[in-house]
Each structure stands twice: as C-alpha cells, then as structure tokens.
Amino acid sequence: MKHEQLKKLVTSALLVAVIIVLSGFYIPVGASKCFPIQHMVNILSAILLGPGWGVAIAFVASLIRNLMGTGSLMAFPGSMVGALCCGLMFKATKKYIPTYLAEVLGTGLFGGMLAFPVAVLLMGNKQAALFTYVLPFFISTAGGTLLAAILVSILDRTKALQYMHQVLSE
C-alpha cells in the first residue's frame, strides 16, 4: 500500500471513530434518528479525501452504528448519498459553499427519497411515502452542515486545511 493511501485510510478510520464516539448525539425526528455529526464528517471527508473515501466512511460508520444498535437502516441512504454528492461537488469546484449545498441536497432530497424503499422493503413500513424522510433528513443535514461550515471556516483561517492536504498528499 502506498504511503499516501495509508494516510488516507488512517484519516478515514479516525473520521469513522468521530462519528461512532459521537453517535450518542442525535436528534429524533419522526421515525428517523438524525445524526448531524455524520453530515459534518461527510463535508470534512469531501474536502480532505474525496468522494470515494467519503462514501466508504459513511458506509462503515452506518454499518457500525447499526451493529451497535445506535443507528437505523436509514443511515445508509442519507449518509452515503450526501457524502457522494458533496465529495463530487468539492472535487469539481474546490469551493466550500457549493459543497455544503450538495451535502444538504444529496442527503436531504436524494437520500430522503432513497430512504423510502429502505423503509418499505427492509423495515416493513407500509405508511412511508416517497417524501416521508425528506424533511427529517433536511433537518439532520442542515445541523451537520452548519457545524461543518463553522469547523471548516476555522480550519481554513488557521491554515490547518492546507496543512492537512499537504500531509495527506505526501
């Protein structure tokens, strides 16, 4: 394994650990457990590592939370789609605001809509409709995106993001 890949793997593991350690912090919205920390990490991973790593982090964190009983199957569509969208946006633009918007749209709208078949087919929720999870997912991602925007702003002003990029690409 290349040295750069190993650094990205370790960084990914640390970001998964942040999600798991803070998984006790969630906002119950309807039938969904909304984890703003996941969305904050989606944005950080998009900026630091890229879309593939972000999706992998979201998947592993969702899997571990489900195995521990601290998450639901709803974690998969929301977190993974959001990570993909904001990762692709940052890769294309290298700009923070479009990345934040992509996380909100990816998780809130697309992830919320993809939660519908998960709810019906895997969780047996016959009451769910196509847009049932859109509002709860928007609430969750809005909180996490706000946290990320604050953190990214601080890291950017202190040049910590530049340093992290440099270290990860050596």
Q: How confident is the model at residue 109 (pLDDT cuts 50, 70, 90)?
A: very high
With a cut of 90, say whether residue 111 has pLDDT above it.
yes
3-state SS of 23-67 is CCCCEEECCEEECHHHHHHHHHHHHHCCHHHHHHHHHHHHHHHHH
Task: Give the chain's mean pLDDT.
Answer: 91
Q: Which DSSP category does 108 fall into? A: I
Residue among 43, 11, 29, 123 at smallest CA distance from 76: 123
Question: Can you tell me the mean pLDDT for 146-152?
Answer: 95
The pTM of this model reads 0.90
Q: How confident is the model at residue 160 (pLDDT cuts 50, 70, 90)?
A: very high
Strand partners, 34: 27
Tens digit of pLDDT for each residue in 47-94? 999 999 999 999 999 999 999 988 888 889 989 999 999 999 999 999
Tens digit of pLDDT for each residue in 115-144? 999 888 888 888 888 888 898 889 889 989
> Tokens standing for 91?
């890769």
